[in-house]
Amino acid sequence: MMDLQGKGFFTWKLPNCEHGEARKIADQAVQAGLTHLVVKVADGTGAYNGNWGEAKDYISPLVTELRNRGIKVYGWHYLYGNEPGGEASMAIRRIRQYNLDGYVVDVEREYKDASKKPAAKRFMGQLRAAYPALPVALSSYRYPSLHPQVPWKEFLEDCTINMPQVYWMKAHNPGEQLIKCVREFQSMSPSRPIFPTGAAFKEAGWQPTEQEVLEFIRVAKELNLAGVNFWEWSAARAGIMPGVWEAIRDYPWSGVAAPREICERYVSALNTKDPAEVLSLYTNSAVHINATRTTQGLDNLRAWYLRLFNTILPDASFRLTGYSGTGNSRHFTWTATSSKGRVNNGNDTLGLIDGKISYHYSFFSVQKS
């Protein structure tokens, strides 16, 4: 299960958030039960200190106040892709300056350009070279099928979290849109744990209702997502959307929804390096599919796991990075490190019968040490 959980908010112009008073922002975050804030820290190759055109640093005192209350601070950065090296250098500088808990890259219309795939790869490669273990999220469109020009693969390969912008503007069906969003991203490769951002703003006469934000949160819980964000703090706190801030504030997230224990049990079994432990989770006629073979039955599965533990990933340590699913279906992501290399892109789907695995599709690649 990934480290980031619960409710969070994006901030944009900090002077509009509790008049820029860091202590008041942090106090409100505590009252709302937020686990994290996502604060804008950079725009393109430039630093962003909390407001356009102001040299005053609104961010440092806010980071201090939030940390004093045990609230994580993620930075977010709007990317253009014209100078990816400069943008990456700025990201690295801001992460170091504020010792951020994570980083969110905001990719929108400027990256709806197939020719910018190298720019995406360069930015992410440079960022990862400096911070290989930092949680990094992609914030972009909710339906990748409608935006195929975006270099999804190049960004998501080096991200640990996917934060799609599920803004149901001009509509009133947040749950339906969230389900469609999750299904589309889970069908892609690579797939990353989804931590969606919902709408808490007003635009062109449209605004979400109290009931809609509650539906958004409820469906996220039903999908077993680790948490939700909302855009944006100042709009939600302005009193222009009756009940919206209060609904988010008062929703008792109380941690992640009950874990899909089969995913945790599976990864724990992998870490025993004992095929018998792993096979105890499968039905007798289970089918296992990966990029090179299809395996059916416990004897054949035993041979596969012996090869995995002894040849492909010897002495490996496996880690569950995210999971979701309802009913008899599960989806999870994982990483591994071993003496022969590492896996950063584990992406598995399970079909269950009576709580045991009857179908298992597994995708991963090993990067040699």
DSSP assignments along 46-74, one per residue: EE--SSTT--S--HHHHHHHHHHTT-EEE
What are the pLDDT digits (tens) for 286-340? 999 998 899 999 999 999 999 999 999 999 999 998 888 766 889 999 999 999 9
| Separation of CA 346 from chain center | 15
Considering the entire predicted model, what is its pTM? 0.70
> Do residues 32 and 352 make contact, with C-beta atoms less than 8 angstroms apart?
no
pLDDT at 352: 87
Residue among 178, 112, 100 nearest 146 (CA): 112
Alpha-carbon span 35 to 24, nearest angstrom: 16
The answer as to CATH 3.40.50.2020 being correct for domain 261-368 is: no
Question: Which residue's structure tokens are 């609104």?
Answer: 58
What are the pLDDT digits (tens) for 350-362? 998 877 899 999 9
Question: Which residue's structure tokens are 């951002």?
Answer: 197
pLDDT at 261: 66
Q: What letter does residue 108 receive in the DSSP assignment?
A: -
Q: Domain coordinates of the chain in residue numbers?
A: 6-250, 261-368
> Do residues 314 and 338 make contact, with C-beta atoms less than 8 angstroms apart?
yes
What are the pLDDT digits (tens) for 236-246? 999 999 999 99
> Do residues 182 and 162 make contact, with C-beta atoms less than 8 angstroms apart?
no
CB crowding 168-188: b at 16 or more within 10 Å, else e: beeeeebbebbbebbeebbee
As a CATH number, domain 6-250 is 3.20.20.80
> Do residues 336 and 323 make contact, with C-beta atoms less than 8 angstroms apart?
no
Q: What is the rounded end-to-end Cα distance, in angstroms, of the chain?
A: 25
Alpha-carbon span 286 to 60, nearest angstrom: 54
What are the pLDDT digits (tens) for 46-61? 999 999 888 899 999 9
pLDDT at 85: 98
Share of the chain above pLDDT 90, in %: 85
Grouping H, G, I as helix, E, B as strand and the rest as coil, residue 144 is helix
Grouping H, G, I as helix, E, B as strand and the rest as coil, residue 143 is coil
Residue among 242, 251, 245 nearest 220 (CA): 251
Classify strands 341-353 and 367-368 as parallel, antiparallel or unpaired.
antiparallel
Bond prior to 232 in cis (omega within 30° of 0):
yes
